[in-house]
Structure 1
């Protein structure tokens, strides 16, 4: 598979997840000339640490130690990092069924307690900045049930749907895409070695800080769960919106001088079409199509750029009277408002900012 034109966003909850779960894929994308961007949602602040790193932890804290390790791991993999701010590690406890759960004393800002829409909004800011061609994250169970991993999966699904992006999840069985470890083994081993507060590589196995062992996967398998909608279908919708706008523009141009109902119905149709598309779909692209169709027709007739009169009749279709000016200006003003109106994700970010909440931040290429 040629990854030279790919820009892939790998979304993870904690430092070291990126290498343990998707290290071969990240390294392969980077090695083939693609752009691998790793998003980390917390610094694993509540994680255990190996004894040899305890002195560093005592000086700067667990989060800062793991941040530095993540920087080193990303350099080894050839990736760059981004960080979602406003959420912290939930901690972990093993449940009776063998899966992982949040620590009983996890704080209110823990990912396990986060609203999935807020997490998706924060991730969406990074998606808009990076403009990826695909997203990769955990499967629905987070790999082993960790609630932070599950939260990241759910938020990634929402973001993939909002931005029409394909979403791949790591799976144990053969699926749609496979990345063998061998071509990038040295990169992955170097990245694992960077996370020395959390693990130790022993041959073909990883020894975790909690005593668990994990065998290195010789092949990483990924399943496509959110395919990108076909581009021709999207363009068809945009063209359809443009044609609908043109139809309303033509009918309104011929009928707006019939007072009062012709003008009222023409304006109602124009406002309803533009505002309705923006409100119902939230899509600026579809709204732009309708605006170009409707306002374009009115502008060509009313402004008369060729200077020959509308259909050679000296502005007979849109005369310079009150009805003509209303038909010329009202659809234009409604179009500007509809295009400028924030979408649902933006409104949530505005409310969070007004409440003093934290969304996301950017620290150069640091995670």
Structure 2
């Protein structure tokens, strides 16, 4: 993950998670000229609060205090923020095995009780707006088992698959990307300082409101678990698709003169094969194999290697009548459109270019 010219979406459950878990990465992306966008599902409404902020909480509530702290942290990191509404903090209780779980009285609207697909739908709305080049979130166990973190991870996996986006998760050991704290230490410390209701930094350690103490990570490691699929098309599949195209082309060439059903069924079969292969596989290679099979047969008949009469002549298999012209031109036109149709990555670039142009016009 190269910070330069990246638009990275960091997905988190609560305020302060963004800095504690991915602060160095966020600051590095922003400092490197990229666009760091932090999306947060809840405001950590059920979190404990340090004594020094209890007066503020009594006035405006935990959620509002933490929302203001999040805004301050994002400014320090150089990031933009997006809030997903509809779910609440699940709270937290430690199990006997040392893994965090939801509080026993977690409300029905808590993240831990949400359908992952619903969370992914909400996240998809943000993805459509931001149009990121990659997504970053917690690992599968949420770092230490917090169910809201786990829910954010699952939603991110679903959304990454939907949009063909690479997904990086924070890992405890070296993986596919790493961000050192030292170059952005001042930004990260300023962001941690913004979360005064939750933590304080003492002698290089983070002291949490619950009493937990841990040192600052000098390096953040990330593992790539979801990436744009590399479509490896086997030769057997290519040959099979080519043969299917030859069969459709041959049958259509011999039957398209059986008006009206012959030409209709022939065009339906040819169009269905070409469009179906492109839509199902997304591969231009497979689509080209189908095209070569169909168009190749039509072209060979027109060249007349069998001595049956060239295109348009009296003895031709493809005479110069309406069905003949349709059978000659329609598959060629469909082939051109199918091969020229942009793939998912091209569509993403088109959306980004359109969005950039629109923003430029507004200015």
Shorter chain as normaliser: what TM range?
0.7 to 0.9
Q: Is the 8 A contact 1:5 1:34 kept in 2?
A: yes
Q: Secondary structure at the match of 2:217?
A: coil
**Relative contact order, higher structure (CA 8 A, sep 6+):** 1
Q: Distance in 2 between matches of 1:207 and 1:196?
A: 11
Name the residue aligned to 1:20: 20
**Structure ID, larger Rg:** 2
Q: Secondary structure at the match of 1:20?
A: helix
Name the residue aligned to 1:301: none
* Structure 2: 5+ residue stretches without partners: 296-310, 342-363
Q: CA deviation at 1:245?
A: 11
Name the residue aligned to 1:220: 220
Q: Secondary structure at the match of 2:88?
A: coil
1:61 equivalent to 2:64? Answer: no
1:189 equivalent to 2:194? Answer: no
Q: Secondary structure at the match of 2:74?
A: helix
Name the residue aligned to 2:75: 75
Name the residue aligned to 1:144: 144
Q: TM-score, normalised by structure 2?
A: 0.72
Q: CA deviation at 1:49?
A: 1.4
Q: Distance in 2 between matches of 1:174 and 1:186?
A: 24
Q: TM-score, normalised by structure 1?
A: 0.71
Q: Is the 8 A contact 1:248 1:270 kept in 2?
A: no
Q: CA deviation at 1:101?
A: 0.5
Q: CA deviation at 1:70?
A: 0.8
Q: CA deviation at 1:267?
A: 5.0
**Aligned length, in residue pairs:** 316
The structure-2 alpha-carbon separation of the partners of 1:51 and 1:128, relative to structure 1 and needing over 3 Å to count, comes to: same
Q: CA deviation at 1:115?
A: 1.0
1:121 equivalent to 2:121? Answer: yes
1:100 equivalent to 2:105? Answer: no
The structure-2 alpha-carbon separation of the partners of 1:279 and 1:133, relative to structure 1 and needing over 3 Å to count, comes to: closer
Q: CA deviation at 1:260?
A: 5.7
Q: CA RMSD in A?
A: 4.2
Q: Distance in 1 between matches of 2:62 and 2:12?
A: 18
Once the two structures are superposed, the pairs formed by residues 1-367 of structure 1 within 5 Å of their partners are: 2-230=2-230, 254=253, 255-259=255-259, 262-263=262-263, 265-266=265-266, 268-270=268-270, 272-273=272-273, 276=276
Q: Distance in 1 between matches of 2:89 and 2:96?
A: 21
* Structure 1: 5+ residue stretches without partners: 298-310, 340-367
Q: Is the 8 A contact 2:37 2:81 kept in 1?
A: yes
Q: Distance in 2 between matches of 1:70 and 1:28?
A: 18
Q: Distance in 1 between matches of 2:260 and 2:219?
A: 71
